Amino acid sequence: MNQLLWYVSRATGLVSLVLLTTVLVLGAVTSGRRAPHGERATVVMGLHRWLSLGMVVFLGVHVGTAVAETYVSIDAISAVIPFTSSYSTLWVGLGTLAVDLIIAVVVTSWLRLRIPERAWRAVHLTSYALWPIALVHGFAMGTASEPLLRAVTVACGLVGIGTLAWRANTRHADAARRSDVLTQEWT
Amino acid sequence: MTDILELLDAAGLTGRGGAAFSTAVKVRAAREEGAAVIVNACDGEIGAAKDGYVVEHHLAELVHGAELVASSRGRKVRYAAHRGSATASTLRRAGLDVLETPARYVSSEETALISLASGGLARPMTKRKPFVYGGRDSDGRAVRPTVVLNAETVWRVAQVATHGPAWFRSIGTREEPGPRLVTVTGAVQHPGVLDTEAGTPIADLLDAAAADSRAEHLVIGGLGGVLAPVAAARALAWSTAELAQFGGSVGPGIIDVLDPHRCPVAVVDSYLAFAAGESAGQCGPCMFGVPALSAAWADLLDHRPTPARVEIVRARAGLLPNRGACRFPDGVARFTASALQTLRPHLNAHRDGRCPSERTSGVRSRA
């Protein structure tokens, strides 16, 4: 039973990382130049939202099984508060931190119509930090002994870094027009 | 003295800036909120001159009206006028607090003035609720309660206080009581501002300004108004009920008689090109929709106005209303729809390769 929990925890962790990377890519392409238009935009945004919720399910199982199994001691507190685990404090702590950020992003997106747009945006931007945190956590902990799993993590890293590099070097057409207009006389 | 709010209620004064909202309701809210008062003397609409007329000829009454509107708590009155305008310098010479705005279309709009007055840019803000109750700009900064009233409206407030509501109601129509100013401009011998009233035949207004008898089209209410045939307009009275026939209203009180020698399709093109350049770069319909509409209309002028090209104009205009922070795109859409309707015979002539306007037939020109 304990062994099963251990495998489930590793598997769901890896699936969570793949889904998180997919959600990151889908989110990044909805802003920036060549953003999808029309029906395609609806599909991309729908996938971004529903895959992120799907990831939360896998993540919940990942955290739950990690706490439940007893090979290593990760208690319920260290599943919530970062860097409190006696086992592998740093790497487990990064995972906890990523989970906390994901909870914040999901909750603010859920309440998006009820909270200021700026608050939603500020929290959502932390996704750019939580993805590398989760990646390092996954790379350092789960996959070190298994070439195939490691390859998946590395692939996630390469895809994500490529997406972030593209996003950093692109600007939405709206933003260009807006800043043009701002150079006119407005005061 | 009877309270000014009761007098305004009894008089039925409505805003003369175009929206025709009850002044009594606005002033009551302004009093309750201790709102700052901005008197809009921008003459922001194309062809408008009546705010300048009020400042020029009735400044003492204007100032009196503004004092009546301002509550004792928020006794801060500012007078908004375009930078460099004669109106701005007249106001400044009188020692008044002048809010100088860029001489732009959208900067003369109510919420743009409030934004400028609270230290922001003169660009329209989303009205989640009227700013007379205070609110927030798009960056979330607090905006203090502020009410904006058109200069003519404020002058009429002073008149109501002096002469009483019965006098006010004895002028105009039952639905649109009181005296009102109309600017008549364009192809007329005596351009200027007429102190008239609702119900006056439009023919009388045109004759008073000695409009060119050959003129075929006129614009009522500027860029946010409608384009109409002179012949049909002459048969109507100056009232919102009758102007509704063209989809228009008395609005900000402007009649612009178009030069009969200039192709009206080209005139509309210059109106829309101006509109495209006036975007505040905030909302989609204004940033992209209005320039796209202007480009589609330019195609009617540069190429044969086929039904397909006309349909593109109609479709793009139809996408503009009810989507911006201010009503600028809505006004442009209304203007374009009326131009399509009124100029249908003219566009048909273009399609047959000729232009009924005498001199500049088919020649593209931008004002």
Report the C-alpha gap between B125 and B131 in whole angstroms: 10
Going by pLDDT thresholds of 50, 70 and 90, the confidence category of residue B358 is low
Give pLDDT, residue B361. 44
Alpha helices in B97-183 (DSSP H): 110-117, 151-163, 165-169
Residues 6+ apart with CB under 8 A from B1: none
- Enter the tokens of residue B348: 């048909």
Q: Which two tokens stand for residue B262?
A: 């200039």
Is residue B208 predicted with pLDDT exceeding 60?
yes
Of B60-74, B89-103, B294-308, B352-366, minimum mean pLDDT range: B352-366
Nearest chain B CA: its distance from A128 CA (Å): 23
List the one residue out of A116, A124, A182 whose CA is nearest residue B128. Answer: A116
Mean pLDDT by 10 residues, chain A (187 residues): 87 95 92 72 92 96 90 82 87 94 95 90 94 93 75 94 89 79 87
Tell me the chain A residues in contact with residue B279 when contact means C-beta distances shorter than 8 Å.
Answer: 181
The answer to whether A186 contacts B282, with C-beta atoms less than 8 Å apart, is: no
Residue-level pLDDT at B362: 45
Which amino acid does the sequence have at B222? G
Look at residue B365 and tell me whether its pLDDT is greater than 60. Answer: no
Q: Which amino acid is at B146?
A: T
**What percentage of chain B carries pLDDT values higher than 70?**
95
Contacts of A181 in chain B (CB under 8 A): 279-281, 287
Provide the β-strand partners of residue B196. Answer: B180
Query: Per the CB < 8 Å rule, is A178 touching B281?
Result: yes
Would the pTM of this model clear 0.90, i.e. be above it? no
Q: Are A33 and A172 in contact (CB under 8 A)?
A: yes
- Closest partner residue to B280 (CB to CB) among A116, A181, A187 is A181
Q: Are β-strands B226-229 and B142-143 bridged in parallel, bridged antiparallel, or unpaired?
A: unpaired
pLDDT in tens, B138-193: 778 889 999 999 999 999 999 999 999 999 999 999 999 999 999 999 999 999 99
DSSP single-letter state for residue A28: H
What element of type H or E holds A9? helix A2-30
The pLDDT value given to residue B1: 46
- Domains of chain B (ranges; CATH) run 4-166 (3.40.50.11540), 171-257 (3.10.20.600), 264-351 (1.20.1440.230)
Whether chain A has a CB inside 8 Å of the CB on B121: the answer is yes
Mean pLDDT of B295-315: 95
pLDDT at B242 exceeding the cut of 60: yes
Q: How far is B293 from chain A (nearest CA, A)?
A: 17
Which chain A residue's Cα is nearest to B123?
A: A186
The CA angle B124-B154-B31, to the nearest 5 degrees, is 75
Contact yes or no for B116 and A187 at CB 8 A? yes
Whether residue B187 contacts residue B258, with contact meaning beta carbons closer than 8 Å, is answered with yes
Cα B6-B12-B13 angle, rounded to 5 deg: 100
Please state whether beta strands B192-197 and B179-186 pair in parallel, antiparallel, or not at all (unpaired). Answer: antiparallel
Number of H helices, E strands in chain A: 7, 0
Q: How many residues are present in chain A?
A: 187
Query: What pLDDT does B13 receive?
Result: 95
CA dihedral A11→A15→A17→A21, nearest 10 degrees, is: 160
Which token pair is B342? 């009124």
Residue B47 C-alpha, separation from nearest chain A C-alpha, in angstroms: 22
Of the CA atoms within 13 Å of residue B205, those in its CB half-sphere come to 32
Task: Please indicate whether, in this complex, the C-beta atoms of A178 and B282 are within 8 angstroms of each other.
Answer: yes
Distances (CA, A) of B181 to A19, A141, B50, B133, B221: 66, 79, 7, 29, 12
pLDDT of B364 higher than 60: no
Contact A186 B279 (CB under 8 A): no
Query: What is the per-residue pLDDT for A179?
Result: 85
Minimum CA–CA partner of A177 in chain B: B281
What pairs with residue B194 in β-bridges?
Answer: B182
Which residues of A sit within 8 Å Cβ distance of B? 116, 118, 174, 177-178, 180-182, 185-187
pLDDT number for residue A34: 64
The amino acid sitting at B279 is: S
**ipTM given for this complex:** 0.73
DSSP state of B288: I
pLDDT for position B73 = 61
- Angle of helix B290-302 relative to helix B328-342, nearest 10 degrees, comes to 20
Q: Is B104 on the interface with A (CB under 8 A)?
A: yes
Residue with tokens 């609702």: B198
Pick the closest to residue B152 from B280, B40, B277, B283 (CA basis): B40
| Euclidean distance between CA atoms B25 and B14, whole angstroms | 9
Q: What is the DSSP letter of B179?
A: E
DSSP letter string over B250-274? STT-EEEEPPTTS-HHHHHHHHHHH
Owner of token pair 């896998």: A58
Secondary structure (3-state) at B143: strand
Query: Do strands B254-257 and B179-186 pair parallel, antiparallel, or not at all (unpaired)?
Result: parallel
| 8 Å CB contact of A118 and B140 | yes
Asked if B123 is an interface residue toward chain A (Cβ–Cβ < 8 A), one would say yes
Q: Is A74 helix (H, G, I), strand (E, B) or coil?
A: coil
Return the ∠ at Cα B325 (arms to B117 and B85), rounded to 5°: 45
Q: Which residues pair with B37 in a beta bridge?
A: B77, B147
Q: Enumerate the residues of chain A whose CB falls inside 8 A of the CB of residue B121.
A: 186-187
Q: What is the mean pLDDT of residues B78-83?
A: 96
From chain A, pick out residues whose CB is under 8 angstroms from the CB of B288.
177
Is B107–A186 a contact, with Cβ atoms under 8 angstroms apart?
yes
Cα–Cα distance for residue pair A142/A3, rounded to 1 Å: 14
pLDDT digits (tens, 9 = 90+) for B318-329: 999 998 888 899
Q: What number of C-beta contacts closer than 8 Å exist between A and B?
A: 28
Taken in order B337, B342, B344, B347, the sign of the CA dihedral is negative
Report the residue from B121, B140, B287 with minimal CB separation from A186: B121
Residue B288, min C-alpha distance to chain A (Å): 9
Within B74-164, where are the H helices? 86-93, 110-117, 151-163
Residue A164: HSE in the Cβ half-sphere, 13 Å Cα cutoff: 15
The whole-angstrom separation of Cα B102 and Cα A46 is 43
How much is the pLDDT for B367? 39
Among the residue ranges B179-188, B193-202, B263-272, B356-365, the one predicted with the least confidence is B356-365
What is the maximum alpha-carbon separation in chain B? 68
Residues of B in contact with A185 (CB under 8 A): 102, 104
User: Taking a contact as any Cβ pair under 8 Å apart, which residues of chain B between 130 and 169 contact chain A?
Assistant: 139-140
Q: What is the distance in angstroms between the Cα of A83 and the nearest Cα belonging to chain B?
A: 36
* Residue B147: strand pairing partners: B37
Q: Which of B136, B279, B283, B286 to mutate to test the interface with A (most CBs of A within 10 A)?
A: B279
Question: Burial level of A106, CB count in 10 A (0-12/13-18/19+)?
Answer: middle
Taking an 8 Å cut-off on Cβ atoms, the answer to whether B102 and A116 are in contact is no
Q: Angle A127-141/A2-30 helices, nearest 10 degrees?
A: 150
A116–B140 C-beta distance less than 8 A: yes
Contact B247/A at CB under 8 A: no
Q: Does B282 touch chain A (CB under 8 A)?
A: yes
